[in-house]
Amino acid sequence: MILNVQSTRRNEFIDITRPVQEMISRCELVSQGYCLLFVTHTTAGITINEAAEPHVQEDILTMLNKLAPPGTGYRHQEGNSDAHIKSTLVGVSQYIPVVDNTLMLGTWQGIFFCEFDGPRNRKVHVQIGHTSCAG
Amino acid sequence: MILNVQSTRRNEFIDITRPVQEMISRCELVSQGYCLLFVTHTTAGITINEAAEPHVQEDILTMLNKLAPPGTGYRHQEGNSDAHIKSTLVGVSQYIPVVDNTLMLGTWQGIFFCEFDGPRNRKVHVQIGHTSCAG
Amino acid sequence: MILNVQSTRRNEFIDITRPVQEMISRCELVSQGYCLLFVTHTTAGITINEAAEPHVQEDILTMLNKLAPPGTGYRHQEGNSDAHIKSTLVGVSQYIPVVDNTLMLGTWQGIFFCEFDGPRNRKVHVQIGHTSCAG
């Protein structure tokens, strides 16, 4: 399954928890399983962090901009090397456990698509499957 | 399956390799498969690194504290923004291959729960499943 | 399945997309599934980023060397603490969706083994499996 994401700024966290949950809800029954998410881009990422308080996302973006400042001080000449660096630090995939087609996120957790070189149209692969041992 | 972890300090790496292996050992046979680990918190993480020499864990924590110093210089007003930032950098999930219900870790690898805002009671989801091709 | 990687420098990104795809092509049919990759080392990592322009890899390595400079200013006395730190930041595993035994990478994405303490002989576990819902 493919989730389309439209970003509106150069650096932006977009909460995709609800659309991912809706895709999982429409699938055949998975009583014990996983959800895997994969971003097909090299200047974006995906993370799981606090969804209740938007300043957390701002603080993460501020730190990433300190580590990899936007601009031209890089070997790569397309002006978006900072976005590639942020993508490797944050990562382009996530895994979340699933019980009865429901994401087993913690109370404060949300799934965020991380745009580092927007605005753009982006794609996220969403896959679910069965695991073996409920313990 | 849920693994409970009790941290005792604000910043701390806790080796959970043994309890994870014990949970996998109690499951039905998985001859070729995977173990997936997921932390349900936004101020903690999970990593795989050297388990033999505790100074390695100290050096990683020191670097993370340099990137995201504890304190109040953040937009988020709960005093733990550094912990949220560290969580996104380290990540909240891990994958390890499993053969005959045994974690296929390298010689020096251990699995570490990373506490960034302790002490607290924490939870880690542990799932295993079958893969398809032994090659 | 195990992929052997031979690095030739201390810090180096090695594109392993083609050998991983070749291993997957030789497996039984996976129409909808995943590929999981796991590095069994504590001074290496694995990332997915732009494969077309080698300066991107250089810029990422330069940033990692700024975060964790090589040298002896660490508690760990083996002279490779920077490599352990980079391993935790980049991570030792990756997930990529698979359709009809083909990696569903984006146009610009390649899979890179990240050597941080070479040159060495290294190993990467490669696993594939089936998912449940094509959506």
What local confidence, expressed as pLDDT, does residue A135 receive?
Answer: 63
Write out chain C residues lying below 8 Å of B65, CB-based: none
What local confidence, expressed as pLDDT, does residue C135 receive?
Answer: 64
Contacting subunits of B (3+ beta carbon pairs below 8 A): A, C
Contact A56, A50 (CB under 8 A): yes
Q: Report pLDDT digits (tens) over A55-83.
A: 999 999 999 999 999 988 899 889 999 99
Mutate to test the interface with B, among C20, C25, C42 (most CBs of B within 10 A): C42
Write out chain B residues lying below 8 Å of C68, CB-based: 63
Single out the residue of B111, A89, B95 nearest to residue C125, CA to CA. Answer: B95
What local confidence, expressed as pLDDT, does residue A72 receive?
Answer: 83
What local confidence, expressed as pLDDT, does residue B135 receive?
Answer: 64
Sheet of strand C12-15: strand arrangement: C12-15, C109-115, C44-50
Q: Report pLDDT digits (tens) over B8-19.
A: 999 999 999 999
Residue of B nearest to C75 (CA): B55
Which residue is associated with the tokens 């990104």?
C13
Domains of chain C and any CATH numbers: 2-130 (2.60.120.460)
Quote the minimal CA–CA distance from A28 to chain C in Å. Answer: 7
How large a percentage of chain B has pLDDT more than 70? Answer: 99
Give the whole-angstrom CA distance, residue B1 versus residue A133.
8
Contact C132, A27 (CB under 8 A): yes
Q: Report pLDDT digits (tens) over C67-120.
A: 999 988 899 889 999 999 999 999 999 999 999 999 999 999 999 999 999 999
Give the whole-angstrom CA distance, residue B25 versus residue C68.
37
Contacting subunits of A (3+ beta carbon pairs below 8 A): B, C
| Average of per-residue pLDDT values in chain C | 96
Give the whole-angstrom CA distance, residue C71 versus residue B31.
42
**A11 pLDDT band (50/70/90 cuts)?**
very high
Distance, CA of C106 to chain centre? 16
Single out the residue of A69, A56, A55, A50 nearest to residue A116, CA to CA. Answer: A69
C134 has pLDDT over 90:
no
- Which residues in chain C (24-83) have CB-CB distances under 8 A to chain B? 24, 26-28, 30, 33, 36, 38-42, 67-68, 74-78, 81
**Residue B29 DSSP one-character state:** P
Give the whole-angstrom CA distance, residue C82 versus residue A28.
46
Q: Are strands C32-39 and C93-99 parallel, antiparallel or unpaired?
A: antiparallel
**B133 pLDDT band (50/70/90 cuts)?**
confident
What are the respective helix, strand and coil percentages of chain B, to the nearest 5? 25, 35, 40
Write out chain B residues lying below 8 Å of C87, CB-based: 49
pTM comes to 0.97
H or E segment and range at residue C130: strand C121-130
Sheet of strand A109-115: strand arrangement: A12-15, A109-115, A44-50
B96: helix, strand or coil? strand
DSSP sequence for C26-65: TSSP-SEEEEEEEE--SSEEEEEEE-S-HHHHHHHHHHHH
Residue of C nearest to B87 (CA): C89
Give the whole-angstrom CA distance, residue B115 versus residue B9.
8
How large a percentage of chain C has pLDDT more than 90? Answer: 93
Question: Which pair of structure tokens corresponds to residue A90?
Answer: 């944050």
State whether A27 and C132 contact (CB < 8 Å). yes
State whether C47 and A88 contact (CB < 8 Å). yes
Give the whole-angstrom CA distance, residue B112 versus residue B91.
12
Give the whole-angstrom CA distance, residue B62 versus residue A130.
39
Contact B45, B14 (CB under 8 A): no
Cα angle: C60, vertex A96, A135; to 5 degrees: 130
| Average of per-residue pLDDT values in chain B | 96
**C26 pLDDT band (50/70/90 cuts)?**
very high
A22: helix, strand or coil? helix
A58: helix, strand or coil? helix
Contact B128, B57 (CB under 8 A): no
The average pLDDT across B107-134 equals: 96
Distance, CA of A95 to chain centre? 10
Contact B17, B110 (CB under 8 A): yes
What local confidence, expressed as pLDDT, does residue C110 receive?
Answer: 98
Give the whole-angstrom CA distance, residue A68 versus residue A84.
9
Question: Which pair of structure tokens corresponds to residue C98?
Answer: 């698979």
Q: Which of B67, B97, B106 sits opposite C127 (nearest CB)?
A: B97
